[in-house]
Structure 1
Amino acid sequence: MSLHNFKARDHFRHNVYPSPFHSRQKELNRLQEWSRWADYLSVPAYYSDSLEYFAARNTCGVFDLTPMIKHRITGPDALPYLNRLVTRDVTKIKPGRVGYSVWCTDRGQVIDDGTIFHLADGDYRVCSQEHQLDWFLTSALGFDVTVVDETHEVAALAVQGPTSCALLKRMGLTGVENLTPFGLAHFPFEGTELTVSRTGYTGDLGYELWIAPEHAEKLWDRLFDAGAQHGIRPLGSQALDMLRIEAGFILAGVDFLPAQQAVRPTHTRSPFELGLGWLVDFKKPVFNGRRALLQEKEEGSRYRLVKLDISGNKVARDSYVYDRKQTIAGTVTSAMWSPSAKASIALATLEMPHGEPGEELQVEIYYKRELKWSKVLAPCKVVDRVFWDPPRKRQTPPADF
């Protein structure tokens, strides 16, 4: 499909878009399977989720980020507006920097999490899993600020893995090696501007590239040409899910239910219950959910999100977690066999007071082999650190490969 037709699509008549990178993805998608992410077609796996996972851990994997919801926030009150909207202190995110944050209802329940890109004075981009335009516009009342959904105006690729910096330098992005984690910079590219941020969802060395859709195919081609000697491979969503679990990153709709989607308000979570209390800054005089979160801090939370190291090699997907008295203590939200940790690992929501590091529990795992279902109660332990956190993630400049 030509770019002209892509731009001309009517959002209200065609509810699934091909990505600006679709022509290149289609050529590499050997499995010919497609899924939907927000308004776009997405690739679950190009050829093998396991091999794609290893590419991102050992060389470089490229994931299409275009479907991520992107909002542009500009105007004289952009900073005070964001500081009112989210829980962290946005004044600490200086121009040329990126910050992770969450935003909450007045009850202190998480609506979504995302990244805030400070592009220039009074100019921000907020990226999130879910559409947030209604909430952002409602929250803008009284502020001199403009909020625009620019999802379709920005194409993006995540370039993740130990050789990612080397191939970006080979592509001609001089100085990209000087970017520190959560930094961003702008580079000239084929007559336009390419924005590069040292961010990602893999817990490894990696970058995210942002460009206008009409230059998307050229970016893909230049990237893969430069990466030919650096083990570059396309990366599907299934492999990305494995990578983010090892890194301890949460996913909306999987590890927590966005507050605006909940039918039962007791099924939502606060930042403290997701292990994100460090993102709540009570030094700010006012922000959405401040009063409720202050009360929770004083009285205690209902739940705790933890990381589990599980005995054996069975994946504890959607499992119950039991304490020593064989009472249900919580549920597993994300699980996998980790090739890097050589262990069965999981993220789980436990009822308080469970979840202190070192606590020994059990998970109830059901698995099927040759049409026969079996059950095992596997011992597990709550661990404090994530399962993948290599030094190269922070090293500046990164090692050259």
Structure 2
Amino acid sequence: MSALTHFRTPLLQTPFHARTSAANTLNRWGPWGGYMTALCFGDADMEYTAIRNGASVYDLCPMVKYRITGRDAAAYLNRLTLRNAAKLSVGGVHYTAWTDDAGKIMDDGTLFRHGPEDYLICCQERHLPWLLASSTGFEVHVEEVTEAIAALSLQGPCSASVLEAAGFDVQGLKPFRMATYPFEGGEITISRTGFTGDLGYELWLTPDQALPFWDHLFAAGAPWGIRPIGSDALDLARIEAGFIITNMDFIPVHQALREDRARSPFELGLGWMIDWEKGHFTGRRALLAEKAKGSDWALIGIDIPGNISAEGAILYHGKKVEAGVVTAAAWSPALKANLAIAQVQAKYAAAQDLWVEIYAMRELQYAKLMLPVTLTERPFFNPARKRATPPGRV
């Protein structure tokens, strides 16, 4: 394909498109990683309700996926990512991130260990040139497998019951673990992972299994009101969970046009995942220096009076000095609270006199609101059911 005509190429359709397009009564689509992804199927409120009170299904196929295999797979990943990939047992999953030499975040994602020398990275952005360049000196094979793996996210308090009704016994599957199950002469992988902060699972299969599996899952889940959801409802759920998203809550360093926009793991609240004992990794020296000196920025959770979303609003200290900006915000139906995630200058991260400036539309005119904020620990929404094993039957 010519570099001059790529813009004429339509967005790709996922293996589930025949079902998602039929269900998308609003015909609302958005781009994600070169694919069409549903923003809302018909009613975002009902889709959110399915996440928190029933069973919801989200098409994960556009997520970028890389398979890392070979004798040095663990050593290679330890050189690249912040956590210790060698400590991740086979069948395990962990959340991780990776930085450049200056210790600034390139991306975050989940790492799955399918075998002693077989890993899968799932993330938001594409990094193949960087991954290949970083493999010099390691006996590894790096391959993008995004199109070879179809995936669904099944989330909600009834998700385990739906899977059991579909013939998959997940009662013993612990959080951040995965297992394989037979399906129509083949196999699928189910991991107890997700992006809603609730009980949930992610289902991994081949593209040819996609439509038969969708039909099987929705037939089994009908008694629990299973329904497909779009990115609008998922975004509300992830804000309640306090999760961050690339290019929404932080800019990947290699995409940042302004030098001061890049953020380190410490500045995004991810310092806990750094394994200092595993040996050298990309960005280690810079992060050690930052640890000793202190960070310039911090990521905080806040609660705001009222119910007007504060997304994009500026935070002030003492109503006068700019302290930071809100990156994600929403009124939480589950918590009955006006929640937000914000980046602030580190010196204001624990300040008590923070205010947010919101412009609320009131009958075709904006009203300026200056409201006090309350610092709140993330995750905002943290139900016990997401950790319970067995998860119980609903």
1:85-144, Cα deviation, whole Å (9 max, x unpaired)? 101111221100001100000000000000000011100000000011111111111111
Moved more, 361-370 or 53-62: 361-370
Aligned residue number for residue 189 of structure 2: 195
Aligned residue number for residue 367 of structure 2: 374
Partner SS state of residue 43, structure 1: strand
Aligned residue number for residue 184 of structure 1: 178
1:164-191, Cα deviation, whole Å (9 max, x unpaired)? 00010110113x1111000000011111
d(CA) in 2 for partners of 1:72, 1:109: 24
Shift of 1:369: 2.3
Residue correspondences, number: 390
How much is the aligned-residue C-alpha RMSD, in angstroms? 1.4
d(CA) in 2 for partners of 1:226, 1:164: 11
d(CA) in 2 for partners of 1:14, 1:301: 43
d(CA) in 1 for partners of 2:314, 2:378: 22
**TM-score w.r.t. structure 1 length?**
0.95
Question: In the superposition, relative to structure 1, how do residues 212 and 12 fare at CA in structure 2: closer, same or farther (>3 Å)?
Answer: farther
Aligned residue number for residue 7 of structure 1: none
Identity %: 48
d(CA) in 2 for partners of 1:89, 1:254: 27
Out of 323, 328, 344, which is 1:334 matched to? 328
d(CA) in 2 for partners of 1:151, 1:385: 31
Instruction: Report if aligned partners of 2:174, 2:192 keep a CA contact under 8 Å in 1.
Output: yes
Aligned residue number for residue 225 of structure 1: 219
d(CA) in 2 for partners of 1:60, 1:78: 36
d(CA) in 2 for partners of 1:31, 1:235: 12
d(CA) in 2 for partners of 1:146, 1:397: 37
Instruction: Report if aligned partners of 1:43, 1:237 keep a CA contact under 8 Å in 2.
Output: yes
d(CA) in 1 for partners of 2:271, 2:352: 21
Partner SS state of residue 108, structure 1: coil
Aligned residue number for residue 288 of structure 1: 282
Partner SS state of residue 84, structure 1: helix
Shift of 1:368: 1.1
Alignment of 1:240-255 (within 5 A): 240-255=234-249
Alignment of 1:1-400 (within 5 A): 14=9, 16-174=11-169, 176-324=170-318, 326-356=320-350, 359-400=352-393
Partner SS state of residue 347, structure 1: strand
Partner SS state of residue 304, structure 1: strand
Aligned residue number for residue 3 of structure 2: none
Shift of 1:32: 1.2
Moved more, 262-271 or 295-304: 262-271
d(CA) in 2 for partners of 1:223, 1:348: 38
Partner SS state of residue 171, structure 2: helix
Shift of 1:359: 2.8
Instruction: Report if aligned partners of 2:241, 2:378 keep a CA contact under 8 Å in 1.
Output: no
Instruction: Report if aligned partners of 1:360, 1:382 keep a CA contact under 8 Å in 2.
Output: no
Partner SS state of residue 115, structure 1: strand
Shift of 1:263: 1.6
4+ residue stretches of structure 1 with deviation over 6 A?
A: none
1:214-265, Cα deviation, whole Å (9 max, x unpaired)? 1100110011000001121111000000000000000000100001101222
Name structure 2 gaps, 5 residues minimum.
Answer: 1-5
d(CA) in 1 for partners of 2:224, 2:76: 43
Shift of 1:12: 9.7
d(CA) in 1 for partners of 2:129, 2:231: 27
d(CA) in 2 for partners of 1:209, 1:226: 15
Partner SS state of residue 345, structure 1: strand
Partner SS state of residue 347, structure 2: coil
**TM-score w.r.t. structure 2 length?**
0.97
d(CA) in 1 for partners of 2:167, 2:180: 13
Partner SS state of residue 42, structure 1: strand
